[in-house]
Structure 1
Amino acid sequence: MKATQRDYAQAARKAGDKLRIFFFCGADEAGASAAVQKVVATLEAPGERLELTGAELRSDPVRLVDEARSTSLFGDARHIFARVSGEEALTALQAYCDLADNGEADEAWPIFIVATSATDKSRSAKLLIKRSDSLVAVFYPPDLRSVTADVRAMADAAGLRLSGNVAERIAHAAGLDVRLAQSEVDKLALYLDASPQSPKQATPEDFDVIGASTEEDGFMPLVNAALGGEVRKLPGELRRLREVSLNPVGVALALERRAAQLASLSAKLRPGDDMQGFLKSQGVFFREHREVGDQLQRWSGGKLERLVPRLAELHRSLLSNSQMAELILSQELAQIARYAAARR
């Protein structure tokens, strides 16, 4: 079964308990991950989460089947979550489908796969699309307008009434990452002691209090220094990374988001297009026109195709090496900046 990022939740509800595999792919890794959380929340008994990596599934394809059919440590319910790149899960999915077709996976736990650098045209997606026990959904990079709408929906659910341009400011401060935006909404609701039973009005001044560190000490100056090839500026930004304790995984997510945005824009940009007019027509935030335009000129479509999976691998490395995350991130940012600078 196939769905879009707009109707995946409805498709999941309609299918009910029949679904065993959720394959969420596309350039918007953040949106796909957020979708997993939404679907898991609807499960009658989601139980504990077992996380697998693409590398683990590639080296041991049978593990997906074994984990999906095994019991948790305490005999409770569980669900499987795997973050993969491209076709890393293909062999594992084939093994699972073979067992399911023989009636040996009827009681298997739900499997959620977020596949960066994969699309509905990938072999993994094609394997699952025609199956009644699987749901494939593609997630494309959102624009400021769509994330702002998502923020308003998050605020409504949290008991917040947003005034003025607060929703847009939250979307922009989060780098169009819905997970980070949700975090900002949660902080704002906590600050105002808001709840669905006791709604509160949120003003721009309220967001100034809880959102200052996100906007002033945020991820984007570091992201822009790396992707813009600003090798002289990067050391200062890396120093700021340490001084204000920026989350390395958050920086990596912001990098992935910008790379996905550049890939989407690059596919639409035509020779001779006026850059400012093009960026405006694509809904790019006006304060980011200079940085995004410069980065589009530095990163061609082919280079971006290699950059996106590299950033996904960086993300996995940071998650599995939390003690060394800052060093790993700094080294990767330095390499990206040197490469971007060489393409002047």
Structure 2
Amino acid sequence: AERVGNPVVAIAPTVKSTAKIVKLAIDSPRAMAFACYAPTAQDAERLATTIANENGLRPAPGVARRLVDTTGGDRAVISREIEKLALYLDAAPDRPADLDHHALDAVGADLGDAEMSRAIDAVIEGRVDDLGAELAVLEEAGTSPIPWLRQLVRRLIALADMRGEIDRGEAVDAVMKRHRVFFKEEASAARSLRRWSPVMLATAIQRVRTAERAIMASGNAGGVVAEAAVVALSQAIARRN
């Protein structure tokens, strides 16, 4: 039909460019084929530099990489951080300013892996009181919760994978070794595997992802959405101890 009210989007990550369906879409005036690739670290740095330039900022060497590292490479978070830095430096396209590491130290997000890991550990281990203190540290840094929410999801997925293998009869020690659990974290990982059921892990992953989507939506309530989600998870695990 010349006009259609219900277009279809087909996602096919394994289809090659030489596939018949791709050629059919390219040749048809009623279809379109579009190839998407996961961005590399260099792509993310170029993106950060471009967004900075659009806001009148000239990043010094290493600044773009630092922005990518501290925001998890999330474009929306990078944009918000750069907008905040542009305000701090009173920069705009018609009055550009240099963006150096001193500006990042002053107002930029600078969450290290240690800070995020402590909050994530508190969630997974059900240490509600400790979680409150760690969330305060993250909030004080003034960055989006999206990077540590995504790290939390990765940890939960790893636990779910290990729990599935254990439920199929494999030994806990063998599973942790296969997943390369750091030897200093083996005891806490074993405790978490006993406390978290497959259903709880699946529910937790869904809740954290829902919180991330809510934060990305326009007119959202901000970090309180993430905090409410992870506190509820931590409380649920604490009740199982």
TM-score bin, normalised by smaller chain:
0.5 to 0.7
- Residue 122 of structure 2 aligns to a residue whose secondary structure is helix
- Which letter maps to 1:107? A
Structure 1 segments (4+ residues) deviating >3 Å = 11-17, 108-112, 270-277, 285-288
Q: How many residues align?
A: 173
Measured after TM superposition, the shift of residue 343 of structure 1 is: 0.9
Task: Tell me if structure 1 keeps the 8 A contact 2:162–2:175.
Answer: no
Which one of 216, 240, 259 corresponds to residue 114 of structure 2? 216
Q: Which residue of 2 aligns with 1:239?
A: 136
Larger Rg: 2
- Which letter maps to 2:17? R
Is 1:316 equivalent to 2:213 in the alignment?
A: yes
- Which letter maps to 1:224? D
- Which letter maps to 2:188? E
Measured after TM superposition, the shift of residue 319 of structure 1 is: 0.7
Is 1:253 equivalent to 2:150 in the alignment?
A: yes
Provide TM-score, normalisation by structure 1: 0.41
Unaligned runs of 5+ in 1: 22-102, 113-152, 159-173, 181-211
Q: Which residue of 1 aligns with 2:22?
A: 18
- Which letter maps to 1:327? V
Which one of 191, 196, 202 corresponds to residue 294 of structure 1? 191
**Percent sequence identity over aligned pairs:** 19
Q: Within 1, Cα distance between the matches of 2:112 and 2:19?
A: 39
Q: Which residue of 1 aligns with 2:181?
A: 284
Task: Tell me if structure 1 keeps the 8 A contact 2:159–2:193.
Answer: yes
Q: Within 1, Cα distance between the matches of 2:228 and 2:194?
A: 24
CA RMSD, aligned part only? 4.4
The 3 A distance-change label for structure 1 pair 319 and 282 is same
The 3 A distance-change label for structure 1 pair 328 and 19 is farther
The 3 A distance-change label for structure 1 pair 250 and 213 is closer
Q: CA deviation digits over 1:28-53, x for unaligned, max 9?
A: xxxxxxxxxxxxxxxxxxxxxxxxxx
Q: Within 2, Cα distance between the matches of 1:17 and 1:227?
A: 45
Provide TM-score, normalisation by structure 2: 0.56
Task: Tell me if structure 2 keeps the 8 A contact 1:20–1:108.
Answer: no
Task: Tell me if structure 1 keeps the 8 A contact 2:208–2:226.
Answer: no
Task: Tell me if structure 2 keeps the 8 A contact 1:20–1:111.
Answer: no
- Which letter maps to 2:158? Q
Q: Which residue of 2 aligns with 1:107?
A: 31
Higher helix fraction (1 or 2) = 2
Higher strand fraction (1 or 2) = 1
Q: CA deviation digits over 1:75-105, x for unaligned, max 9?
A: xxxxxxxxxxxxxxxxxxxxxxxxxxxx8x8
